[in-house]
């Protein structure tokens, strides 16, 4: 394996998915995930994209991400609201629960540690 990993979506077939039906609150959101790297110990890096909709989220893992395009709103169960627009970087820690609402198809790059 190379020592450097480029995030080139043309080089990897995306995995397609959606939130579990019981988590969906609005719309019919769909996901594409280009997972470019996996390391021992549960470390993942790639690009994720979602179409408009709103669903419940509950994080068991640690995630860093950077919004590349689109517009989403992340809202915690405690009421904290974060606008996710291009250029925003965020860390979400295990135990976070709330909603993810995609208003414009959103793409982010991510690093996740399980």
pTM of the predicted structure, to 2 decimals: 0.94
Averaged pLDDT score across all residues of the chain: 96
Q: Do the beta carbons of residue 25 and residue 55 sit within 8 Å?
A: yes
| Six-digit token string for 42 | 């549960």
Q: Is the pLDDT assigned to residue 3 strictly greater than 90?
A: no
User: pLDDT band for position 8 (50/70/90)?
Assistant: very high
**CATH, range 35-113:** 2.60.120.10
SS (H, E, C) the chain: CCCCCCCCHHHCCCEEECCCHHHEEEECCCEEEEEEEEECCCEEEEEEEECCEEEEEECCCEEEEEEEEEEEEEEECCCCEEEECCCCEEEECCCCEEEEEEEEEEEEEEEEEC
Q: Do the beta carbons of residue 1 and residue 36 sit within 8 Å?
A: no
pLDDT in tens, 81-95: 999 999 999 999 999
């Amino acid at each position: 394996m190379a020592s450097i990993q480029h995030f080139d979506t043309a080089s990897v077939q995306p995995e397609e998915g959606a939130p579990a039906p019981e988590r969906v609150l609005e719309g019919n959101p769909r996901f594409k995930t280009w997972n470019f790297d996996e390391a021992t110990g549960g470390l993942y890096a790639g690009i994720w994209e979602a179409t408009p909709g709103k669903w419940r989220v509950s994080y068991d893992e640690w995630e860093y991400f950077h919004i590349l395009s689109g517009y989403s709103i992340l809202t915690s169960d405690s009421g904290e609201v974060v606008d996710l627009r291009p250029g925003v970087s965020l860390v979400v820690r295990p135990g976070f629960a709330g909603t993810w609402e995609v208003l414009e198809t959103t793409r982010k790059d991510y690093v996740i540690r399980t």
